Structure 1
Amino acid sequence: MAAFEEFDEAAWDYGDELFETWKKGLYNKDLYYEIGWKIMKHHMGGNGLELCAPQRGGFDVYYRLRMAEGAGAMIRFPMPAYFQYAEEKLLAEVATIRYLSDNTAIPIPFILHYGIKQESPGELGPFIIMEWVENAGDLVDITNKPGLTNEDVPMLDPDIDDEKLERVYGQMAGILLQLSQCEFPAIGSLNFPNGDDDLDPEVLTRPLSINISQLANFARVPHFQLPPPSKTFKTSSEYYTALADMHLQQLSFQRNQAVESADDCRKKYIARQLFRKLALEGRLAEDKSFNHGPFKLWCDDLRPANVLVNKDETLAAAIDWEFTYAAPADFSFAPPWWLLLQAPDDWRAGLDDWVAHYEPRLAVFLRALETKEKQLIEQGRLLGEAEVPPPLSARMRRSWETGHFWVVYAARRAWAFDGIYWRFLDEKFFGRNESGDFMERLKLLPLEQIEAMEGFVERKPKEKEEGMLVDWYEPGAESRVI
């Protein structure tokens, strides 16, 4: 059985079809002129020389306009085929960038203008126009394994010098330290009160995560099954419960590649119900003193690929702040997953091998973080341990040593959940399973969930045979509480 689940291939193919249709309109000559004039209208920095061909990122497509003077500007559109809630995503990112620009020293491209789909060139979608940041690449370019191309999955150079790696990690550590000081009274995404961007951003809407967007696209979870856009969370335990519910929705609604067999379905059902049990009992939040806040600013997509550097490998800008939200403090207290450039669920040699490679790099990162903490304390930009014990480096070390790193990772990523739950979480919370039979854990669940399991197991193969139902843009599927 596979350790990690896959997206629904039919849903992915459908997204590909939508993207190819949308993509055909990106190279229209009239559109190029419209985009160029749109950027120049808000840049006011001289005449445009060249509008470069559109480039595709992880979640967006952007055009760069070279100017006669200065670095120029860019306009960016979310790809509607793969990531839902494009306007919600954009408005939250704009508010986040405004907040970070006003409250941190993180270098971020300046927003010149933004707007909704109806205001965009060719109605391509909601858009942001930003100043272009000259750069010599990103942190992946200087840490990637030699010989890999842009088409390959990045992998940390196994022979990288520790001193160089500590300098790179130090750049990221500085960003994480500043984010950890951004505190809020609720869990959710930032937005402008009443849509007025003259006002300071506040936590006003649901925490729009990568996971929520992917659930809508690649598990085809109907919108009404996910937290409503206006929903914010007042405690970490409440949010962990919502994440556990979403894991169940992923298993319930995804029709293809969700389960491999009846036993595989039972095992995934039991794991998700046990995880929800832990959430409801308030056992997933590690530091209970933070259960009611303050909550820390967290970015799902913060990683070395989104940190641009100058020729001397110093920080130029941190970009792509979509999927940023106030989250449980546990998220910030967990050490970063990206130290090897590859996520644990993408590591071909398996979780144990990932851990073996990760731990030596974690030691280097924590050393870099401790150095950065001392620097910021000396500069008066960070309170010392006497004022705010313990420091972030100590909290990250504890998160790894206690295994809470895996709680946070499993909670955030529905498709990585199963392999991590059975490898790291089941025994941590419920003790050793002497028989090794996952069905032994069934007795830990309430009777109604036990009785519902076989009906659920029978339903999954039938749904796969039936294929896709209604378009997931429409709230047409029945409610499924399992």
Structure 2
Amino acid sequence: MDNPMKSSFWMLCILIDLWPYVEDNLTQLQCNLFSIGPGEYFRSLVAQQKTHLWTQRNLCDSPNDAHDRYISNHLFAQLVDRHCIDDRGPIKLFCDDFRPQNIIVDPTTLGIKAVLDLEFTTAMPSQFASEPPWWLSLAGPDSYLVRGLTLDHFVEAYMYEPRLDQFLAAMEQAEKTHPAAEHHKPLSRLMRESWRSKRFWFNYAARKPFDIDDIFNDCLKDGNASIESLDEETRAGLDAFVEAKMKQLKAYDTDCARHLESAG
């Protein structure tokens, strides 16, 4: 069994190492808070993800890992224009943790009595609120990656798509009673479009920067996309990035070993 003190130590090392990145980006977010639209929101996320890519010293554990992360992050950035469906669209409240486990229901009437854990609620482009719910399989796609599984397990082995079809069929029945306002698409149609176009995965990757590489490679990458799909300047920066990440990793390991030794 892992030593909890040692695990806490390593987590502290990671947090300390990431703090300059967090501090800089908090300042940037505060400056842009009232002047951002959906397109700029995604471009800002992409910029933050690239900063994270360069800043976290222990993010890449080998030259091949650094090589692959660099390419997938830059290819993901090219998808913004494709998957940002309305650059003039509204910003809406969105709660990443809104799911059945956080809803209290009256066992007699089945009416909703309370909704819990709203601390993840924030203002985001409206397309996040019109994507299929990730919780239809009771666990998010990222939880499968943590267990060493692939996103194919989420979609196929745990039957996400049949559950999505069932969910949307029920929603369509409800929409017949309460139709969408004029010039607005029904939510069920927006969700189907999100899943079929893979915008669901784009949105999910945008919210899960630590898993962006796996999500991109498993669900978003075009078959022929490679380093040749990047511009000349980006391609030219690959070798320098790999070298920098290996130097960072060596320095990180040295610092952690020294701190661990001094901690006894």
Same fold per TM (> 0.5)? yes
* 2:4 equivalent in structure 1: none
Q: 2:228 aligns with which of 440, 443, 450?
A: 443
Query: Could you tell me how far apart the structure 1 residues matched to 2:125 and 2:210 are?
Result: 20
> Does the 8 A contact of 2:61 with 2:249 survive in 1?
no
Cα deviation, residue 10, structure 1 = 7.4
The answer on whether the counterparts of 1:306 and 1:319 sit within 8 Å (CA) in structure 2 is yes
Residues 372-402 of structure 1 show CA distances to partners (whole Å, capped at 9, x for unaligned) of 3344x2xxxxxx3461432001110111112
Deviation at 1:264, TM superposition (A): 1.5
Q: Quote the offset at 1:270 in angstroms.
A: 0.9
Map residues 86-165 of structure 1 onto 2, 5 A cutoff.
none
Conservation of the 8 A alpha-carbon contact between 2:94 and 2:121: yes
Instruction: Give the aligned partner of residue 410 of structure 1.
Output: 205
Distance 1:311 1:344, change over 3 A: same
Letter in 2 for 1:277: Q
Tell me the equivalent position of 1:250: 52
- Residue 272 of structure 1: how far off its partner (Å): 0.9
2: CA distance, partners of 1:311 / 1:385: 30
Whether 1:350 aligns to 2:150 is yes
Q: 1:274 aligns with which of 60, 64, 75?
A: 75
Against the structure 1 CA distance between its residues 235 and 358, is the aligned structure 2 distance closer, same or farther, given a 3 Å change threshold? Answer: same
Instruction: Quote the offset at 1:12 in angstroms.
Output: 5.8
What is the rounded CA distance, in whole Å, between the counterparts of 2:221 and 2:142 in structure 1?
18
**Comparing 411-420 with 308-317, which one deviates more in the overlay?**
308-317
CA distance in 2, matches of 1:266, 1:389: 43
Report the alpha carbon displacement of residue 446 of structure 1 after superposing the two structures with TM: 2.4
Distance 1:374 1:294, change over 3 A: same
Residue type of the alignment partner of 1:297: L
C-alpha distance in 2 between matches for 1:393 and 1:218: 43
What is the CA-CA distance between 1:307 and the residue it aligns to? Answer: 1.2
- Hey, what's the Cα distance between the residues in 2 that align with 1:401 and 1:228? 32
Instruction: Quickly say closer, same or farther: Cα 1:293–1:389, change in 2 above 3 A.
Output: closer
Out of 13, 18, 31, which is 2:11 matched to?
A: 13
On the 8 A contact 1:234/1:292 being kept in 2, the answer is no
Identity %: 35
Residue type of the partner of 1:13?
M
Structure 1 residues 251 and 234, CA, compared in 2 at 3 Å: closer, same or farther?
A: closer
Cα pair distance change 1:468/1:236, threshold 3 Å: farther
How big is the shift at 1:230?
Answer: 4.1
Determine the structure 2 residue equivalent to 1:178.
none
d(CA) in 1 for partners of 2:41 and 2:9?
Answer: 27
Gaps of 5+ in 1: 1-8, 16-214, 378-383, 434-439, 471-482
CA–CA separation in structure 2 for the residues paired with 1:249 and 1:260: 18
Q: Which amino acid aligns with 1:373?
A: E
- Alignment pair present for 1:458 and 2:243: yes
**Cα distance in 2 between the residues matched to 1:398 and 1:358:** 16
Q: How far apart are the structure 1 equivalents of 2:181 and 2:217?
A: 39
Which has the higher Rg, Structure 1 or Structure 2?
1
* Aligned equivalent of 1:154: none
SS of residue in 1 equivalent to 2:93: strand
Please report how far the alpha carbon of residue 410 of structure 1 lies from its aligned counterpart in structure 2 after TM superposition.
1.0
Corresponding residue SS for 1:327: strand
1:238 & 1:469 partners in 2: Cα distance? 39
SS at match of 2:79: helix
The Cα of 1:216 is off from its aligned counterpart by 7.1
Query: Which stretch shifts more, 450-459 or 392-401?
Result: 450-459
Q: 1:370 aligns with which of 172, 177, 180?
A: 172
Q: Residue 223 of structure 1: CA displacement? A: 1.1
* Paired position in structure 2 for 1:306: 102
Q: What is the TM-score with the length of structure 2 in the denominator?
A: 0.80
Counterpart for residue 68 of structure 1: none
Match of 1:73 in 2: none
Change (3 A) 1:11 1:239: farther
User: Alpha-carbon deviation of 1:234?
Assistant: 3.3
Residue 218 of structure 2 corresponds to which residue in structure 1? 423
The equivalent of 1:102 in structure 2 is none
Query: CA 1:385/1:222 → structure 2, altered by over 3 Å: closer, same or farther?
Result: closer
- Paired residue type of 1:223: E
Letter of the aligned partner of 1:350 in structure 2? T
Residues 310-331 of structure 1 deviation map (CA, whole Å, 9 limit, x = unaligned)? 3334311112222322211221
Check the 8 A contact 2:180/2:186 in 1, yes or no. Answer: yes
Q: 1:295 to 1:253 in 2, by over 3 A?
A: same
CA RMSD of the aligned region, Å? 2.7
CA distance in 1, matches of 2:61, 2:11: 20
Q: Which residue of the partner structure matches residue 182 of structure 1?
A: none
Aligned pair count reads 240
**Map of 1:183 onto structure 2:** none
- Taking structure 1 as the reference length, the TM-score comes to 0.46
- The 5 A counterparts of 1:26-41 are none
CA shift, 1:241, in A, is 0.7
Conserved? CA contact 2:67–2:242, under 8 Å: yes
- 2:23 is aligned to 223
Between structures 1 and 2, the one with greater strand share:
1
Matched, 1:341 2:138: yes
Secondary structure at 1:316 match in 2: strand
Cα deviation, 1:189-221, whole Å, max 9, x if unaligned, reads xxxxxxxxxxxxxxxxxxxxxxxxxx9788442
State the Cα distance separating 1:276 from its structure 2 match.
Answer: 2.1
- Please report how far the alpha carbon of residue 458 of structure 1 lies from its aligned counterpart in structure 2 after TM superposition: 1.0
Seen in structure 2, the aligned counterparts of structure 1 residues 11 and 402 have a Cα distance that, compared at 3 Å, is: farther
